[in-house]
Amino acid sequence: MISLNDLRQFKMQGRKFSCLTCYDASMAKVMQVAEIDSILIGDSLGMTIQGNDSTLPVTVADMAYHTRAVRRANQHAFIMTDLPFMSYATLPDAIANAREVMQAGAQMVKIEGGAWLAETVANLTRNGVPVCMHLGLTPQSVHVFGGYKLQAKTREAADQLLEDCQALADAGAAMFVLECVPAQLGKEVAETFPHIPVIGIGAGNETDGQVLVVQDMLGLTMGKLPKFVRNFMAEQAGAEAALNAIRAYHAAVQDQSFPSAEYTFQVEL
């Protein structure tokens, strides 16, 4: 089983690692065969599985349920689980809810936000819970942002994100996820924190790893997709198309052919 220390070693070795969302045992088994490095049980299940129009209705019980299903079926990947909307607004809530998903099989929890969560990160870390911080476009704050839009488009905003990362790193954050930010900023964060793995989703190909929603990269999501999504299923054929698509994604992350320029935001910072 891949550990957090393995992901750190991958970063130090310059080996890019793959991550996909997963919510059920069947897909977890496919990802084990495909040797996907890490799995995110994301609160994106609110939309992909439950049919909601955002992640906000997802509960901690939902996250624990899907974490157990994935962990039973996959003994290879590093598994992290989202703490959903408002489940870590207070320190007691954060500790209790992190305990629930960790006992369900997660190796790390992921929460969304910046420097204001440093105390939460420090408390969780002291209690044996590794924390991944999600910055940039944070879906739980979609109503604050006014929609799903590119973040940190100016040097000032980029510097603020870097300051948030520093405060969170000082508090003990063990990983970062950067969503929908310019490629230059993804590279800058990865280089600024040499011992913290940085996963990108719409953050260029020079972060340490990549994550996509599995339904998006398999072409199963109807409607308009974000710029940073590549349909790997469309490149495959035959009875094992899904497995081959996931293998192709894993290989493309490792050789940095994904995300290429067409799936990347480039702005002047």
Q: Among the options 100, 112, 179, 206, which is catalytic?
A: 179
Q: What is the C-alpha to C-alpha distance for residues 62 and 238, in angstroms, rounded to an integer?
A: 34
Structure tokens at 1: 């089983």
CB contact at 8 A, 8 and 195 = yes
Compute the radius of gyration of the chain from its Cα atoms: 17
Closest CA to 203 of 185, 217, 215: 185
191 part of the active site = no
Structure tokens at 215: 């339904």
Q: What is the C-alpha to C-alpha distance for residues 201 and 205, in angstroms, rounded to an integer?
A: 9
Backbone angles phi, psi at 61, to 5 degrees: -60, -40
Q: Which residues are designated catalytic?
A: 179
